[in-house]
Amino acid sequence: MIHITFPDGSIKGFEYIPSGMDVAKRISEGLARDCVAMMLDGITVDLNTPITQDAHVRLITTKDKEALEILRHSAAHVMAQAIQHLYEGVKLTIGPVVEDGFYYDIDMPPVSEDEFPKIEDEIKKIIKAKIPFERKVVPKSEALAFYKDEPYKVEMISELEDGNISLYEMGDFTDLCRGPHLPHTGFIKTLKLMKVSGAYWRADQTKAQLQRIYGTAFFSKKELAAYLIFLEEAKKRNHRKIGLALELFSFHDEAPGMPFFHPKGMNIWNSLIAYWQAEHRAAGYVETKTPIMLNRDLWEKSGHWENYRDQMYTTTVDNIEYAIKPMNCPGGMLIYNSKPHSYKDLPLRIAEIGIVHRHELSGVLSGLFRVRSFHQDDAHIFMTPHQIEDEIVGVLELVERIYGTFGLGFHLELSTRPEKSIGTDQQWETVTKGLKSGLAVYGKDYKINEGDGAFYGPKIDMHIKDALGRTWQCGTVQLDMALPERFDLYYVGKDNQKHRPLMIHRVVYGSIERFLGILIEHFAGKFPLWLAPIQVVVLAINDEIVPYANTVKIKLEKAGLRIELDRRTESLNRKVRDAQLNKIPLILTIGEKEREADTLSVRTPGGNVRHGIPHEEFLIRVRKHIRQRNLDPDIFIED
């Protein structure tokens, strides 16, 4: 008798060796139709896996989060099989699941998106055939012999340890894979190819260029339709297009991956920085600035020269090697070490908005989201062990205030000690306990990623959620035991002895360029008044009113508003339409009536027009709105 224990504690007995499918059918035929895999004693396996001894089982259905990844993993195999059917001589590499879908890198002649319908037709045939995914385990030597004509598979298998290799068969198609997979191809209700791009084998420019074909898959056509609508909305919010249309930033071949910010972009940038500085001053931080280029000795001491050299830009000055900084941290260590410290100085919160450079491959550059030159809002907090909890809580509360100002929710993830790490067990226990204690006091739920911390310490990552529900990892809190050791940092304690401080690395915006890109898409370019690159535009009814309209513009400009006067000889309707396309929050229309009464007609973002608004009332409302950093750009929202 084999006993199966379910998550709710119930137990079912089987007088034979059942598979996961047998277990599902024992419960109900409906459940069996929805099951795609199972958790067998904590390991995800195929549904047809035999259960040979008493075990804990959780059946994974199409409603479970894990099911979508299994579906898309299986869909990558189906796409590869279809391509092998249609094109001669293709050589397969890998086909992983990625966010929102999957891709497969294939050595084959260039394929265009015009060919997608043909490939999708073949995919539909494979899905309709309901071909089973069958796992086959063979010795490494047999796998190498099987793939003798597939150089990429041979390369991957050769790197594996000697032993058994798992393959998955789908009729006339076999792929190297650990699994698990769906019971059969019919579970894929809809599969759509999305795009194709070039990719180097193993991201090495000296190796073969492959065709990377992206796709996505869902358990229902309704889910696919919703996803395609989401993509259309995301496309409208593309920060590169909006940035170009609103004249915020640009990129140029003379400096690949290094953004050029235009005057309007700098208006947003300066507003972000001013807000950041105000919040940090209030939280007890001091601001510093360190050089952009430091010599090789420093980077060897920090460990970057050995571990990060390929991503650093270097040069030689007076026969001495230098590197442009990829991180701000080592400079912060030098500032701390510039004078002795007592326990009375701690905690010491040192912040820096520093520009860093990293040599990213050209193929991964992506607007403001992935650049080679960017600013990080770093801070390094030096503290004693018993101060960890308070400092963690302080950082999390600061993050919540700042993200909340932009209407961004977030969730927390704690990553603990990895297999390869530095420091003693006692040190890791102390700092991990400190992080958990801080999170407990903060009082918000968090996810634990066991073994996913940095080699030098555990960390907390903040994942923000934008208006479309997408998540972005921006803020992070990392405890570091390595750099204080490498730079021999110390403070004099109450016992008059030297002690090593603990150190927190943390960012809130992260890369400010990337954060700005996220905000552009979050707001779809319609920034709240305090952030808007141009807050007000003045429109004169006719040329005769322009001189007076200009005096109004100058008056409001002196009051601190970012304002433009549209002097064009276009119709008023055209000017209003252009101002709305440029996403300017407030439109002031001035004619003879407004000039005589010394008032304003104000058009708000919703298209409502308020007439006869005195200048002082307008300024009072605008200043209050900006001071409060109100998310709605309509200054009459409270009325």
pLDDT, one tens digit per residue, over 526-544 is 999 999 999 999 999 999 9
Q: Using CA atoms, how far apart are residues 157 and 147, in angstroms rounded to an integer?
A: 9
pLDDT in tens, 542-558: 999 999 999 999 999 99
pLDDT in tens, 101-152: 999 999 999 999 999 999 999 999 999 999 999 999 999 999 999 999 999 9
Catalytic residue among 417, 459, 603, 621: 459
Give ranges for CATH 3.30.980.10 in the chain: 66-225
What pLDDT, on the 0 to 100 scale, is given for residue 638? 66
Catalytic residue among 81, 84, 211, 376: 376
In the chain, the N- to C-terminal Cα span, in Å, equals: 73
Look up 380 and say whether it is catalytic: yes
Is the pLDDT assigned to residue 482 strictly greater than 70? yes
**Helix residue ranges, H only, 559-609:** 572-581, 592-597
Look up 376 and say whether it is catalytic: yes
Catalytic residue among 358, 575, 583, 621: 358
Is the pLDDT assigned to residue 455 strictly greater than 80? no
Catalytic residue among 237, 329, 357, 417: 329
Catalytic residue among 105, 378, 466, 480: 378
Mean pLDDT of the chain: 94
Bridge-partner residues for 379, per DSSP? Answer: 351, 506
Is the pLDDT assigned to residue 486 strictly greater than 70? yes
Give ranges for CATH 3.10.20.30 in the chain: 2-61
What pLDDT, on the 0 to 100 scale, is given for residue 516? 97
Reply yes or no on domain 2-61 having CATH 3.10.20.30: yes
Look up 390 and say whether it is catalytic: no
pLDDT in tens, 401-438: 999 999 999 999 999 998 887 778 888 888 888 889 99
pLDDT in tens, 348-368: 999 999 999 999 988 788 999
What pLDDT, on the 0 to 100 scale, is given for residue 531? 97
Tokens of 448: 């634990």
What pLDDT, on the 0 to 100 scale, is given for residue 581? 94
Confidence of residue 600 (pLDDT cuts 50, 70, 90): very high
What pLDDT, on the 0 to 100 scale, is given for residue 620? 95
- Identify the CATH homologous superfamily for domain 249-290+326-523: Bira Bifunctional Protein; Domain 2 (3.30.930.10)
What pLDDT, on the 0 to 100 scale, is given for residue 439? 93
Look up 252 and say whether it is catalytic: no
Catalytic residue among 239, 341, 375, 380: 380
Give ranges for CATH 3.40.50.800 in the chain: 536-627
What pLDDT, on the 0 to 100 scale, is given for residue 434? 86
pTM over 0.75: yes
Bridge-partner residues for 210, per DSSP? Answer: 199
Which CATH number is 66-225's, of 3.40.50.720, 3.30.980.10, 3.40.50.970, 3.30.530.20?
3.30.980.10
Topology of domain 536-627, per CATH?
A: Rossmann fold (3.40.50)
Look up 615 and say whether it is catalytic: no
What pLDDT, on the 0 to 100 scale, is given for residue 596? 94
- For residue 216, report the phi and psi dihedrals to the nearest 5 degrees: -140, 160
Closest-CA residue to 481 (of 435, 537, 528, 541): 435
Confidence of residue 480 (pLDDT cuts 50, 70, 90): confident
DSSP string for residues in 110-171:
---GGGHHHHHHHHHHHHHTTPBPEEEEEEHHHHHHHTTT-HHHHHHHHTSPSSEEEEEEET
Catalytic residue among 349, 505, 506, 562: 505
What pLDDT, on the 0 to 100 scale, is given for residue 299? 93
Give ranges for CATH 3.30.930.10 in the chain: 249-290+326-523
- Give the mean pLDDT of 256-266: 97
Q: What percentage of the chain carries pLDDT values higher than 70?
A: 100
Tokens of 192: 């759509």
pLDDT in tens, 194-212: 999 999 999 888 999 999 9
